[in-house]
Amino acid sequence: MNPRALLRGAFDAAVGAANPARVVPPHLPAPPRGRTLVLGGGKAAASMAAAVETHWPREAPLSGLVVTRYQHGLPTQRIDVVEASHPLPDGRGEAAARRMLELAAGLGPDDLLLALVSGGGSSLLAAPVEGVTLKELRAVTKALLGAGAAIQDINTVRKHLTRLSGGRLACAANGAQVLALIISDVVGDDPTHIASGPCAPDPTTCADARAVLARFGIAAPASVVRHLERCAGDTPKPGDPCLARSANRVVANAQASLAAACAYFAQHGVPALLVSDCVSGDAQAAARAHAALARASTRRPLALVSGGETTVTLRPQHGRGGRNAEFLLALALALQDTPAWAIACDTDGIDGSEDNAGAILAPDTLARAQARGIDAAARLAAHDSHGFFAALGDLVVTGPTRTNVNDFRALLLGVD
């Protein structure tokens, strides 16, 4: 099989394993005595809502509101879908989040709040706390993203600056039963970090949020500093009575998607080794580690598969590119004389904030770049991996997949 097609097929298998139409229905509860209200947000929100509608009894009351990223919506009949901005929040997401709190407050003990949670929800449901403006929240988020902060650090801050995060949505449900169905885009699958845990207890504090800002040297607006110092109305902690009827259930994650990709490779005669489902840290450092593993591997053919979420620390002046393309460009330089094919893509179809999911690396990538007068090392230093792979025609463009279980990487050795 053509190596390029093999890599793309494995990526498609990974994405398919996290398709909400497949993973949501088996976890739907029986309708309650009262009514069911669906609320949620994330890149998979619309497809999760569509899955609920398809499998929910027609005679059972069902209504709701979910927020997803622009161009990620789907037509629905009983659950409203709003599109908003990601990764930086906007007024549409803020308004929808405020409306969700109002809807949740209308529930009672006989009702069910069915929360649909997926990656991106932190930004899409970002209604700032009193005293902090949306512009100020955007500024803090942008600074953390540019500093290469891990999603756990970013969400530690956002949970204390927004109204739904850190269990607050569940606590607003007025004693109703709460079930959060979660598609995890976070290493470790901890519900408190996925979309900032709208239905999960928050073990972090305002002091933790201040520590994150200090560690990354973020000069937060005065209103943010004041709020985090006063810490009035903090998030509910583990054991809080308002979460007594709340449950969080992860229905899709990186591990299951990577296993599906490994099975795909095996079906095509290529043994696969799952390196890790939780690779994190700097994308270039991760690339060098993967290159070392490839050079040390003697088995051929072989597919080295990994997932997780790396980061990129940007310079003030930088080109275009997400963490997956940056990983691949660094990998190309680190492989030296080890011929390999590779793919690195985000399962949501968006590498960072670009229009591509990632890219594909071929054994002749550097040679083709050199023939075109493209300096790979200079492009990497300028964080211009998108421009590098676009010039070679090696970007992977899928459009929105409407799911998100983090990054997918595969190195293919010994396959021509």
- The pLDDT tens digits of the residues spanning 345-355 come to 999 999 987 88
pTM to 2 decimal places: 0.93
Count of other CB atoms within 10 angstroms of residue 314: 14
Residues 3-11+254-413, CATH architecture: 3-Layer(aba) Sandwich (3.40)
Tokens of 167: 């269990």
Report how far apart, in Å, the C-alpha atoms of 283 and of each of 239, 344, 369 are. 37, 11, 21
Q: CATH for 19-252, among 3.40.50.10180, 3.90.1010.10, 1.10.10.10, 3.30.310.50? A: 3.40.50.10180
Say how far apart CA 304 and CA 290 lie, in whole Å: 8
Is 156 a residue whose pLDDT tops 80? yes
Q: Which residues pair with 341 in a beta bridge?
A: 412
Say how far apart CA 114 and CA 18 lie, in whole Å: 19
Tokens of 64: 């709701």
Q: Are 40 and 117 in contact (CB under 8 A)?
A: yes
Q: Which residues pair with 66 in a beta bridge?
A: 40, 81
Q: Is the dihedral of CA 125, 127, 129, 135 positive or negative?
A: positive
Quote the pLDDT of residue 316. Answer: 66
Report how far apart, in Å, the C-alpha atoms of 170 and of each of 109, 112, 154 are. 13, 11, 21
Say how far apart CA 64 and CA 79 lie, in whole Å: 5
Pick the closest to residue 48 from 114, 127, 124 (CA basis): 114
Q: For residue range 125-142, what is the model confidence (pLDDT) as tens digits?
A: 999 999 999 999 999 999
Is 73 a residue whose pLDDT tops 80? yes
Question: Which residue type is seen at 186?
Answer: V
Share of the chain above pLDDT 90, in %: 90
Give the full edge-to-edge strand order of the sheet including 302-311. 272-282, 302-311, 407-413, 341-346, 358-361, 395-396
Is 232 a residue whose pLDDT tops 90? no
Quote the pLDDT of residue 317. Answer: 59
Q: Are 253 and 402 in contact (CB under 8 A)?
A: no
Q: For residue range 290-335, what is the model confidence (pLDDT) as tens digits?
A: 999 999 998 899 999 999 999 888 766 577 878 999 999 999 999 9
Quote the pLDDT of residue 315. Answer: 65
CA dihedral 396→397→400→401, nearest 10 degrees, is -40
Share of the chain above pLDDT 70, in %: 99
Pick the closest to residue 37 from 66, 57, 62 (CA basis): 62
Q: Are 117 and 48 in contact (CB under 8 A)?
A: no
Pick the closest to residue 151 from 118, 176, 174 (CA basis): 118
- Domains of the chain: which residue ranges? 3-11+254-413, 19-252
Q: Are 254 and 190 in contact (CB under 8 A)?
A: no
Distance of CA 282 to the CA centre of its chain: 17
Q: For residue range 24-46, what is the model confidence (pLDDT) as tens digits?
A: 999 999 999 999 999 999 999 99
Lowest mean pLDDT of 5-9, 172-176, 277-281, 375-379, name the range. 277-281
Q: How many CA atoms lie within 13 A of 2 on its CB side?
A: 5
Q: For residue range 182-229, what is the model confidence (pLDDT) as tens digits?
A: 999 998 899 999 999 999 999 999 999 999 999 999 999 999 999 999
Residue 222: which residues within 8 A CB-CB, separation 6 or more?
Answer: none
Q: How confident is the model at residue 358 (pLDDT cuts 50, 70, 90)?
A: very high
Q: Where do we find the tokens 């809807």?
A: 103
Q: Is 118 helix (H, G, I), strand (E, B) or coil?
A: strand
Quote the pLDDT of residue 375. Answer: 97
Q: Bigger pLDDT: 175 or 1?
A: 175
Mean pLDDT over residues 136-152, rounded?
Answer: 91
The rounded mean pLDDT for the chain is 95
Say how far apart CA 200 and CA 153 lie, in whole Å: 16
Say how far apart CA 50 and CA 326 lie, in whole Å: 34
With residue 334 as reference, give the H or E element that holds it.
helix 323-334
Quote the pLDDT of residue 187. Answer: 86
Q: Count of H helices and E strands in the chain?
A: 16, 12
Strands 341-346 and 358-361: antiparallel
Quote the pLDDT of residue 161. Answer: 96
Backbone angles phi, psi at 120, to 5 degrees: 100, -15
Mean pLDDT over residues 365-382, rounded?
Answer: 96
Quote the pLDDT of residue 404. Answer: 95
Residue 111: which residues within 8 A CB-CB, separation 6 or more?
Answer: 32, 34, 35, 36, 37, 173, 176, 177
Q: Are 323 and 284 in contact (CB under 8 A)?
A: no
Q: Are 358 and 351 in contact (CB under 8 A)?
A: yes
Quote the pLDDT of residue 151. Answer: 85
Q: How confident is the model at residue 105 (pLDDT cuts 50, 70, 90)?
A: very high
